[in-house]
A and B are shown apart, each in its own frame.
Chain A
């Protein structure tokens, strides 16, 4: 389709990326003259369209969201998310699978992190995600995600803990074709006459189909009478489908690199090195008075692997601080799994141990049959399964 009166400079006005211009019918003469023949706008439009054409010709893909930069290593392979101590039992109950609605009761003893009892409820459909967790101290953590379209997600997080300040966080995610942008504000307020709280903006941009670079800037005002603080971090991620390397340089003076590889279909391995520079106060050896600062660098390297078997998942890791840890999750019945986590610190001669039980139960008969492997997700009987139930 072409416009009846092409602009004097030979550009097809319908191809210009001006959202306000309707493409199908002739634009008003005055408007077209202003938008296309004005040298500044003509130049800007030209630059914009050539940049966006060039971007499309690069075949870039979305590099993933900024906070998932090291997801493969730190969340999939390493134990960070899974490790626990003491005894625990999780009773999960799923009512329906689409949309997802499930509740769980979590009981625990002998742990410093996990509360003795917590109840949580989760609801999720295609664009809405609701989650709430309430423990025996009436501490609440609530989460709401809403996807407006395939690019925009708004997230709200609220955390109310007894005797601690309430944390509220608002977040907006924009995922473009070749970049991801995220903006979040933690406890934002302008009641004290100026902005207080923390504002974080991050951008991850793909440069080639494999390489993405990004930066994150944090602006925080903890108290209206304190000066504001700002910090910028730089990251890079190289994704070669079967292996991923990342690097992060943080403004607080830390550098971390990670490497991940999918060894086979069910084995993954990862390594992460973190170097942190801190200023240690130097004291006079006799008087004990501070005389200055000395830069100290602390470093940790962690190597880990994850094995997925048919009925179990095993994760193990070893780090340069002398810690060896493992986490095992084994399904012993279709609805019962046991969890084991252990850690040995060879330098300190200490150890940690955790044992857990996970019970899945169904809120409906179809789901119960599905959990026991008798029918598939569409309610059709699975061949070979005993049809007695």
Chain B
């Protein structure tokens, strides 16, 4: 697998893209899961229900 011809520039670009993706996923993953769940709930709970816990 050696001899993979990647120039320093394109390597840097790939690393940068990967870093950006990681950051986006880091802060976007939980909101994404919440959104998917919210959109599939028939009555679309109000957001306060994410933190409100009546016992």
The interface of chain A, by Cβ under 8 A from chain B, is 91, 93, 95-96, 99, 101, 103, 105, 119, 121-123, 125, 130-132, 134, 138, 140, 142, 158, 160, 166, 190-191, 193-195, 335-336, 359, 361, 363-364
Determine how close the nearest CB of chain B comes to the CB of A57; give it in whole angstroms: 42
Tell me if A140 and B4 are in contact (CB < 8 A): no
Binding site secondary structure of chain B: helix
Question: Which residues on the B side are within 8 Å of A91 (C-beta)?
Answer: 53
| B residues 1-55 in Cβ contact with A at 8 Å | 1-4, 6, 11, 14-15, 22, 25-26, 29-30, 32-34, 36-38, 40-43, 45, 49-51, 53-55
Looking at the complex, which one of A123, A158, A363 makes contact with B45 (CB distance below 8 Å)? A363
Which residue, of A121, A122, A130, has the highest number of chain B Cβ atoms within 10 A?
A: A121
In the bound assembly, the distance between CA atoms of A140 and B28 in angstroms comes to: 10
Looking at the complex, which one of B6, B37, B51, B53 makes contact with A95 (CB distance below 8 Å)? B37
Of all chain B residues, the one with the shortest Cβ separation from A195 is B1
Tell me if B33 and A121 are in contact (CB < 8 A): yes
Question: Which residues on the A side are within 8 Å of B54 (C-beta)?
Answer: 361
In the bound assembly, the distance between CA atoms of A253 and B22 in angstroms comes to: 37
Tell me if A123 and B29 are in contact (CB < 8 A): no
The interface of chain B, by Cβ under 8 A from chain A, is 1-4, 6, 11, 14-15, 22, 25-26, 29-30, 32-34, 36-38, 40-43, 45, 49-51, 53-55
Of all chain B residues, the one with the shortest Cβ separation from A336 is B55
- A93-B53, A191-B11 given as contacts; is B22 within 8 A of A101 (CB)? no
Tell me if A191 and B30 are in contact (CB < 8 A): no
Determine how close the nearest CB of chain B comes to the CB of A327; give it in whole angstroms: 24
Binding site secondary structure of chain A: strand
Question: Which residues on the A side are within 8 Å of B38 (C-beta)?
Answer: 101
Tell me if A158 and B40 are in contact (CB < 8 A): no
Determine how close the nearest CB of chain A comes to the CB of B37; give it in whole angstroms: 4
In the bound assembly, the distance between CA atoms of A283 and B4 in angstroms comes to: 46
**10 nearest CB pairs, A to B:** A101-B37, A121-B33, A123-B37, A142-B29, A194-B1, A132-B30, A132-B29, A132-B33, A130-B33, A95-B41
Tell me if B34 and A138 are in contact (CB < 8 A): no
Tell me if B30 and A96 are in contact (CB < 8 A): no
Looking at the complex, which one of B26, B36, B40 makes contact with A160 (CB distance below 8 Å)? B26
In the bound assembly, the distance between CA atoms of A119 and B11 in angstroms comes to: 36
Tell me if A191 and B15 are in contact (CB < 8 A): yes
Question: Which residues on the A side are within 8 Å of B40 (C-beta)?
Answer: 96, 99, 101, 123, 125
- A103-B34, A131-B33, A132-B33 given as contacts; is B42 within 8 A of A96 (CB)? yes
Tell me if B22 and A191 are in contact (CB < 8 A): no
Cβ contacts A to B, 24 pairs, < 8 Å:
A93-B50, A96-B42, A103-B37, A105-B51, A105-B53, A119-B30, A121-B33, A121-B37, A122-B33, A123-B33, A123-B37, A132-B29, A134-B30, A138-B26, A140-B25, A140-B30, A158-B22, A158-B25, A160-B22, A191-B15, A195-B1, A336-B55, A359-B53, A364-B43
Question: Which residues on the A side are within 8 Å of B43 (C-beta)?
Answer: 364
In the bound assembly, the distance between CA atoms of A160 and B38 in angstroms comes to: 25
In the bound assembly, the distance between CA atoms of A131 and B22 in angstroms comes to: 16
Determine how close the nearest CB of chain B comes to the CB of A76; give it in whole angstroms: 27
Determine how close the nearest CB of chain A comes to the CB of B13; give it in whole angstroms: 11
Question: Which residues on the B side are within 8 Å of A361 (C-beta)?
Answer: 53-55
